[in-house]
Chains A and B, each alone.
Chain A
């Protein structure tokens, strides 16, 4: 059966009459010319009439054919027959469908989102299969998500189409490569099928196509997930830091695809998407106390042309500030808000940009926990802690005030360590093992522990610790001649020391007794040393907190440190620093599982954690190395999560969860790049549903004859041109044939 892709042009088929009409018009328009005698004309006409008729007919035929071919070429005839289709391989086929499930698919292009269009296309592909075809469906998220993991027979078409239409995108990014590899692996299991198709349906976003390498390049290597300790310091959300955890068998490798497999890549949605979103926030200072103003700096990103965007800051669901900024397309900008002083406690904030085509990333949630004071615990006997308590109790006024509580070592177990920003141990050792564990746990959870040695502890008592910067090797009495020591700032850029200026007179101490520490453990450092190179103050980060170890006592028994002018500022700085170090992260990214002991230490097994929609979030416990660890599951909805428990019956904002923002950068991929990235033999790229189904139809059933007709047209045109030129070529003249002399004598050239 022949059909036409552009039947409208068949109307111009009447143009085949043009050569005939022109000929007739020409005939009727001949000019009458008086001539001496028509005798020879008539004889010549009679002699050559047949030849002339043939030549005219041929010319007419060529010109008519030209017009006919031109009309047909524009009408694009297409031969579609079942027989013809079979000869092209219209046999039973296996079809794999991969749908991009990243949150950027929620982009609204027209009346529906890209996701809705994608699922509709996928369902249509499934429904359009014939009875002998088979299919499987996968979603491409941050991991490969099978919808129909094995090849299903066509009788499941309806059911699967319904399932596909009910699917929802994921709150995360996607990688298409592993999903395509997984889908191909399913197709490769069935060797008997010759015809194979892989359909990948995505938006125009370039991010899902990372991980593909141009043909010839080496496949990407799997990268490890950063360790939890390191993760705390990372700044998630930056696309450059996306975790790429790809199993080796799913690394993109086009050589594993059969040559006969055809890949249809459909990029739906806008070719020029626009999106503005807050990407990250920073709060200064990190330690926020009540009645202390702070600054919130928002990082904003935009895809599309530059535009002015209004950014609104909400505090506890009330608008507190609004500013406008012109965001340049394809780059990030920063905008700062001055946050007014807030009362003590946890406060939920969010930064919002106006509603756009991708609304899911318009809000960025975070928390601040304003502290009333800086609760500090001082552990030791009264005499040892005298100077310490005096120094800490002396309020510096200004930005912070320290609330010191003093307990003796035997009462330590009664204290809830998490409620203190820092704990000073002054000649408090030896301590029971349980307390050591609690203190270590406290530090890991973000607390600051400052240890002053004393006469009560022996070397073995220090060795019992696992979190000290160094295990002392001895307790030395300093000879008289060496007691006067100058102090050196070994790490002047350390945040703890930066605020302490070394300028002016070199601080010096008289030290009579000192811990001797020769070896530092991993990640420990000497912050201050004495003139002879002996450590004076060391630090070691443990978990989210830090441990500081002085080598002299807090009182005058080992040195005159308490009498020195920088005793008070050092202690205050320690409290400030450790309080700031223990500040919790204002937000977390969406995740399936989140350990709580570090992020939400106040959570217990009895606590109730609820999501932004009020749904209960599951808290599970596990035991590891004798410790009970809690983790929350299913933190995939962005928003503020509240915590309540037996001791805190009123729910308070506990977690701010945000979508990882790499999908918000909607920089599109260029359509022509896709075949090169895939590196497969047969790739068809479409940018709309109609284009896709046309390509499918062309591939499966028939081919248009437009191009061959145009080539034929060109050939005929060249032929007509040559022929008509040959006909009108100048022939020889009789006067050239006859040799006519100037006198009029005539002779033949031959004679």
Chain B
């Protein structure tokens, strides 16, 4: 018997038709609203340019940080003469170095990100979210980079702080569709190993992988002192299983099928999915990873603004 199949097609509202790059994901009004907010890192980061973010590197700067004993090779002009007069010992001054933020967006492009019950697929939402965050970052003269992954790293873009760079990055994203399976944990480990300088790492994924392994991967980032934000992108149907008739559900990555009546299963499904979410939330909280749930039925711009406002308040 030939079964009827519901297909999942790219939604029309995902991108602005006919546009490329930034304009494909954000309209002028959204860009205007996003231009007034900044993305702050909660921790000190290393950067190249003089920016608003604290850098762990202590060098010539206007802000005194602390003393260290004078050693051969140190610049004598940094010797603190007052301490010498007090202690008859030679100490040099160390200064806070204010620098720009390096932001890496890690975007999941596995097949499961291709699911969407409403106007938007999860991948489309993730792309718009990445575009919004990227715009905020570049607007603040910070650097934005990209890792696009599925079961491996598919695209890697070094961080730059120009709009042109952002535009090209988003153009590359525009040409990509969800595909392949997921190997979030291993890929994250690879990415963590490749980022040497402290940065702000933003993971945008549905995290439909082994929770413990993904958590370990996130811990890897934290061990390297990166500030990590996890945007857990999910469709409302994935959360509630609010379907009204039996279906033969087909896994988009593995091809496995199961025939169930969502109405009968909803309660148990929600309990299990809730446990899944709770596991991530708890482990992220323990690692001081900023865990956020993003539903694809929300407005991206509104969501990003709310998030950044809260982040700014919490950073004071």
**Residues of chain A having any CB pair with chain B under 8 Å:** 26-28, 30-45, 47-48, 52, 55, 727-728, 731-735, 737-738, 740-746
With contacts A38-B258, A744-B303 known, is A30 near B266, CB below 8 A?
A: no
Bound-complex Cα distance A737 to B273 (A): 12
- Chain A residues whose CB sits within 8 angstroms of the CB of B310 once the complex forms: 741, 743, 745
Q: Which of B253, B266, B277, B303 contacts A742 (CB 8 A)?
A: B303
Q: Which of B1-15 contact A (CB under 8 A)?
A: 1, 3-8
- Cross-chain contact B115 with A36 (CB below 8 angstroms): yes
8 A-B pairs with least C-beta separation: A744-B292, A36-B115, A44-B269, A36-B112, A44-B268, A33-B247, A742-B306, A32-B5
- Chain A residues whose CB sits within 8 angstroms of the CB of B206 once the complex forms: 36
Which of B90-98, B149-157, B234-242 is the interface stretch? B234-242
- The smallest beta-carbon distance between A416 and chain B, in angstroms, is 115
* B37 in contact (CB, < 8 A): no
Bound-complex Cα distance A40 to B238 (A): 10
With contacts A36-B112, A52-B264 known, is A44 near B272, CB below 8 A?
A: yes
* B81 in contact (CB, < 8 A): no
Known: A26-B246, A743-B303. 11 other contacts (CB 8 A): A32-B257, A33-B243, A33-B249, A34-B5, A41-B249, A44-B265, A44-B268, A734-B240, A737-B270, A743-B310, A745-B310
- Chain A residues whose CB sits within 8 angstroms of the CB of B3 once the complex forms: 30-32
Bound-complex Cα distance A732 to B242 (A): 10
- The smallest beta-carbon distance between A683 and chain B, in angstroms, is 56
Q: Which of B112, B273, B281 contacts A734 (CB 8 A)?
A: B273
- The smallest beta-carbon distance between B36 and chain A, in angstroms, is 17
- Cross-chain contact B267 with A743 (CB below 8 angstroms): no
With contacts A740-B293, A743-B292 known, is A727 near B263, CB below 8 A?
A: yes
Q: Which of B270-284 contact A (CB under 8 A)?
A: 270-274, 276-277, 281
- Cross-chain contact A32 with B273 (CB below 8 angstroms): no
- Chain B residues whose CB sits within 8 angstroms of the CB of A734 once the complex forms: 239-240, 270, 273-274
* B199 in contact (CB, < 8 A): no
Bound-complex Cα distance A154 to B61 (A): 133
- Chain B residues whose CB sits within 8 angstroms of the CB of A728 once the complex forms: 263
Which residue of chain B has its CB nearest to the CB of A746? Answer: B293
- Chain B residues whose CB sits within 8 angstroms of the CB of A39 once the complex forms: 208, 251
- Cross-chain contact B249 with A35 (CB below 8 angstroms): yes
- The smallest beta-carbon distance between B81 and chain A, in angstroms, is 50
- The smallest beta-carbon distance between B256 and chain A, in angstroms, is 5
* B261 in contact (CB, < 8 A): yes
Bound-complex Cα distance A31 to B267 (A): 22
- Chain A residues whose CB sits within 8 angstroms of the CB of B40 once the complex forms: none
- Chain B residues whose CB sits within 8 angstroms of the CB of A28 once the complex forms: 1
A-B contacts, 6 listed (Cβ < 8 Å): A36-B235, A36-B251, A37-B208, A55-B264, A734-B274, A744-B231
On chain B, the number of residues with a Cβ less than 8 Å from chain A's Cβ atoms is 66
* B248 in contact (CB, < 8 A): yes
Bound-complex Cα distance A44 to B263 (A): 12
- Cross-chain contact B274 with A738 (CB below 8 angstroms): yes
- Cross-chain contact A48 with B263 (CB below 8 angstroms): no
- Chain B residues whose CB sits within 8 angstroms of the CB of A43 once the complex forms: 272
- The smallest beta-carbon distance between B206 and chain A, in angstroms, is 6
- The smallest beta-carbon distance between A553 and chain B, in angstroms, is 124
With contacts A740-B295, A746-B291 known, is A38 near B272, CB below 8 A?
A: no
* B176 in contact (CB, < 8 A): no
Q: Which of A38, A52, A735, A741 contacts B261 (CB 8 A)?
A: A52
- The smallest beta-carbon distance between A629 and chain B, in angstroms, is 103
Q: Which of B235, B248, B265, B307 contacts A30 (CB 8 A)?
A: B248
- Chain B residues whose CB sits within 8 angstroms of the CB of A48 once the complex forms: 264-265, 267-268
Most-contacted residue by chain A among B208, B258, B264, B293 (CB, 10 A) = B264
- Cross-chain contact A737 with B231 (CB below 8 angstroms): no
Which residue of chain B has its CB nearest to the CB of A737? Answer: B274
Which residue of chain B has its CB nearest to the CB of A734? Answer: B270
Bound-complex Cα distance A376 to B309 (A): 145
* B69 in contact (CB, < 8 A): no
- Chain A residues whose CB sits within 8 angstroms of the CB of B122 once the complex forms: 36
* B294 in contact (CB, < 8 A): yes
- Cross-chain contact B258 with A34 (CB below 8 angstroms): no
- Cross-chain contact B251 with A40 (CB below 8 angstroms): no
- Cross-chain contact A744 with B208 (CB below 8 angstroms): no
* B216 in contact (CB, < 8 A): no
Bound-complex Cα distance A47 to B235 (A): 23
- Cross-chain contact A746 with B239 (CB below 8 angstroms): no
Bound-complex Cα distance A40 to B239 (A): 11
Bound-complex Cα distance A40 to B237 (A): 12
Which residue of chain B has its CB nearest to the CB of A742? Answer: B306
Bound-complex Cα distance A229 to B40 (A): 134
- Chain A residues whose CB sits within 8 angstroms of the CB of B250 once the complex forms: 32-35, 38
Which residue of chain B has its CB nearest to the CB of A42? Answer: B258
- Chain A residues whose CB sits within 8 angstroms of the CB of B261 once the complex forms: 52
Most-contacted residue by chain B among A42, A47, A734, A746 (CB, 10 A) = A734
Q: Which of B285-311 contact A (CB under 8 A)?
A: 291-295, 298, 302-303, 306-307, 309-311
- Chain B residues whose CB sits within 8 angstroms of the CB of A746 once the complex forms: 277, 281, 291-293
- Chain A residues whose CB sits within 8 angstroms of the CB of B259 once the complex forms: 27, 30
Most-contacted residue by chain B among A27, A32, A36, A45 (CB, 10 A) = A36
- Chain B residues whose CB sits within 8 angstroms of the CB of A732 once the complex forms: 270
- Cross-chain contact B115 with A30 (CB below 8 angstroms): no
- Chain A residues whose CB sits within 8 angstroms of the CB of B7 once the complex forms: 34
* B65 in contact (CB, < 8 A): no
Q: Which of B5, B238, B298 contacts A31 (CB 8 A)?
A: B5
Bound-complex Cα distance A733 to B236 (A): 10
- The smallest beta-carbon distance between A41 and chain B, in angstroms, is 5
- Cross-chain contact B292 with A38 (CB below 8 angstroms): no
One digit per residue, 1 when the CB lies within 8 angstroms of any chain A CB and 0 when it does not, for chain B 160-182 equals 00000000000000000000000
- Chain B residues whose CB sits within 8 angstroms of the CB of A32 once the complex forms: 3-6, 247-248, 250, 257
- Cross-chain contact B274 with A31 (CB below 8 angstroms): no
- The smallest beta-carbon distance between A582 and chain B, in angstroms, is 104
- Cross-chain contact A31 with B264 (CB below 8 angstroms): no
- The smallest beta-carbon distance between A482 and chain B, in angstroms, is 125
* B252 in contact (CB, < 8 A): yes
* B84 in contact (CB, < 8 A): no
- Cross-chain contact A41 with B4 (CB below 8 angstroms): no
- Cross-chain contact A38 with B249 (CB below 8 angstroms): yes
- Cross-chain contact B306 with A743 (CB below 8 angstroms): yes
Bound-complex Cα distance A26 to B281 (A): 40
- The smallest beta-carbon distance between A716 and chain B, in angstroms, is 22
- The smallest beta-carbon distance between A723 and chain B, in angstroms, is 13
Bound-complex Cα distance A38 to B256 (A): 7
Which residue of chain B has its CB nearest to the CB of A729? Answer: B263
* B60 in contact (CB, < 8 A): no
* B260 in contact (CB, < 8 A): yes
Q: Which of B112-142 contact A (CB under 8 A)?
A: 112-113, 115, 122
Bound-complex Cα distance A742 to B239 (A): 16
Bound-complex Cα distance A31 to B113 (A): 21
- Chain B residues whose CB sits within 8 angstroms of the CB of A42 once the complex forms: 256, 258
- Chain B residues whose CB sits within 8 angstroms of the CB of A727 once the complex forms: 263-264
- The smallest beta-carbon distance between B145 and chain A, in angstroms, is 22
- The smallest beta-carbon distance between A32 and chain B, in angstroms, is 4
- The smallest beta-carbon distance between B307 and chain A, in angstroms, is 4
- Cross-chain contact B265 with A52 (CB below 8 angstroms): yes
- Cross-chain contact B240 with A735 (CB below 8 angstroms): yes
Which residue of chain A has its CB nearest to the CB of B239? Answer: A734
- Cross-chain contact A742 with B293 (CB below 8 angstroms): no
- Chain A residues whose CB sits within 8 angstroms of the CB of B245 once the complex forms: 31
Q: Which of A26, A31, A33, A41 contacts B265 (CB 8 A)?
A: A41
Q: Which of A27, A36, A737, A742 contacts B238 (CB 8 A)?
A: A36
- Cross-chain contact A37 with B6 (CB below 8 angstroms): no
